[in-house]
């Protein structure tokens, strides 16, 4: 297993079109026969001919299937890629919003890449991720994989949940097993408030989170996996700190206030107290900070941010390890070439 940190300063030096000395296509590997395209961040806003010439020279193509991503499309087009029909097989990159069926994976050529691994729902579905972490706790020791609060999958584990609740009452947080952006998430203080006609995840609510200026926040990170056998993880050094819009108070009377308890942008942008920052030079204003700004603030408050980041990296690695066996096995069954798949995930963690 390998964990690589992508640092901003290195990224800026590598990806600057005007200053970089490396070609935009580099040849890697022991034999120097593996082509690697070095993308340029400036392509987001620039249509420089020098950037476009790379994709045009190698006749690179992409297709976007069952999703819409203006950012991905814009970057690829500005790098000289041309877009082909979703049904075309003549592509270098497929960017899709859903998982590929096995027969499509098996048909991939060695020069083709797709942005999903088979069975990656073992990581992205909340119930599957929890079950995988639970299995690692049982196999390798609870203390070594204690990276999530006490959790149950309902309705299957309702009796176990009810027994645990009766011993230690408090707030629990309810989440749909396959949703995102804060949709369907709420807090309860009694088992009677929980519906049993749908699959949900119920976790003991963390009632003493780390606060900044009295507000609850989480950290959104950016992780790229290029292989599960061996496991190769790239963690981008920068991230986002996302803040709730109402100051935190753990009193039961506030249990229904989503703007206090949830940190999701999709939830808090609806609040009249939401503050956005339109100045790219300001990192510590409003309800979204850069992770760098958040870490600077915590250091000023006397927190050990080196230890904190080490713990966050440990959490990411262990979450990916818990799903590794399923995804690696599926890759051996369905993926013909080692470099066909990659996966981007954006985990968030509460401090």
Mean pLDDT of the region 333-350: 93
Spatial neighbors of 60 by CB under 8 A, at least 6 apart, are 37, 54, 79, 80, 81, 82, 92, 93
Which tokens is 325 given? 């066996």
- For CATH 3.30.1490.20, list the domain ranges present in the chain: 150-205
How confident is residue 4, by pLDDT bands cut at 50, 70 and 90?
A: low
- For CATH 3.30.470.20, list the domain ranges present in the chain: 118-144+207-351
Burial of 161 (0-12, 13-18, 19+ CB in 10 A): buried
Q: Is the pLDDT of residue 23 over 60?
A: no
How far apart, in whole angstroms, are the C-alpha atoms of residue 289 and residue 282? 9
How confident is residue 43, by pLDDT bands cut at 50, 70 and 90?
A: confident
Q: Is the pLDDT of residue 327 over 90?
A: yes
Contact call for residues 133 and 148 (beta carbons, < 8 A): yes
Average pLDDT, the chain: 90
DSSP for 232-258, written as a single string:
EEEEES--EEEE-SS-----GGGTT-H
Alpha carbon of 306 to those of 206, 298, 299: distances in Å? Answer: 23, 11, 9
Mean pLDDT of the region 22-29: 66
Q: Is the pLDDT of residue 22 over 80?
A: no
Per-residue pLDDT, 152: 97
Per-residue pLDDT, 182: 78
Least reliable range by pLDDT among 11-25, 122-136, 226-240:
11-25
Q: Give percent above pLDDT 90 in the chain.
A: 75
Domain 150-205, CATH number (from 3.20.20.140, 3.10.129.10, 3.40.50.620, 3.30.1490.20): 3.30.1490.20
Q: Is the pLDDT of residue 206 over 80?
A: yes
How confident is residue 51, by pLDDT bands cut at 50, 70 and 90?
A: confident
Which tokens is 122 given? 């073992």
* pTM listed for this prediction: 0.89
Q: Is the pLDDT of residue 18 over 60?
A: no
Q: Is the pLDDT of residue 21 over 70?
A: no
Least reliable range by pLDDT among 37-51, 179-193, 247-261:
37-51
DSSP 8-class letter at 281:
T
Tell me yes or no: is domain 118-144+207-351 CATH 3.30.470.20: yes
Q: Is the pLDDT of residue 274 over 60?
A: yes
Alpha carbon of 73 to those of 62, 84, 114, 215, 278: distances in Å? Answer: 9, 11, 14, 36, 24
């Amino acid at each position: 297993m390998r964990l690589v940190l992508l640092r901003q300063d290195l990224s800026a030096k590598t990806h600057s079109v005007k200053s970089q000395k490396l070609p935009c296509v580099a040849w890697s590997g022991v034999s120097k026969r593996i082509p690697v395209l070095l993308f340029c961040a400036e392509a987001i806003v620039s249509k420089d001919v020098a950037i476009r010439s790379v994709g045009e020279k190698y006749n690179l193509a992409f297709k976007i299937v069952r999703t819409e991503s203006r950012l991905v499309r814009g970057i690829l087009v500005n790098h000289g890629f041309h877009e082909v029909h979703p049904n075309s097989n003549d592509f270098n990159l497929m960017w899709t919003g859903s998982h590929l069926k096995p027969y499509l994976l098996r048909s991939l050529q060695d020069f083709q890449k797709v942005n999903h691994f088979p069975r990656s729902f073992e990581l992205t579905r909340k119930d599957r991720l929890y079950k995988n972490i639970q299995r690692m706790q049982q196999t390798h020791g609870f203390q070594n994989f204690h990276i999530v609060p006490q959790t149950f999958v309902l309705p299957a584990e309702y009796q176990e949940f009810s027994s645990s609740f009766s011993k230690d009452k408090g707030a629990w947080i309810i989440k749909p097993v396959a949703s995102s952006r804060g949709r369907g998430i709420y807090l309860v203080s009694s088992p009677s408030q929980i519906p049993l006609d749908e699959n949900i995840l119920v976790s003991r609510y963390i009632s003493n989170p780390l606060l900044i200026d009295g507000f609850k926040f989480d950290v959104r990170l950016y992780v790229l996996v290029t292989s599960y056998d061996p496991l190769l993880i790239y963690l981008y050094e920068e991230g986002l700190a996302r803040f709730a819009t109402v100051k935190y108070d753990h009193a039961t009377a506030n249990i229904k206030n989503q703007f206090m308890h949830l940190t999701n942008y999709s939830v808090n942008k609806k609040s009249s107290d939401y503050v956005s920052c339109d100045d790219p030079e300001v990192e510590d204003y409003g309800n979204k900070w850069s992770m760098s700004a958040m870490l600077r603030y915590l250091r000023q408050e006397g927190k050990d941010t080196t230890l904190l980041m080490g713990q966050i990296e440990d959490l990411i690695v262990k979450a990916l390890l818990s799903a590794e066996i399923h995804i690696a096995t599926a890759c051996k069954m369905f993926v013909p070439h080692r470099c066909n798949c990659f996966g981007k995930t954006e985990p968030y963690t509460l401090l």
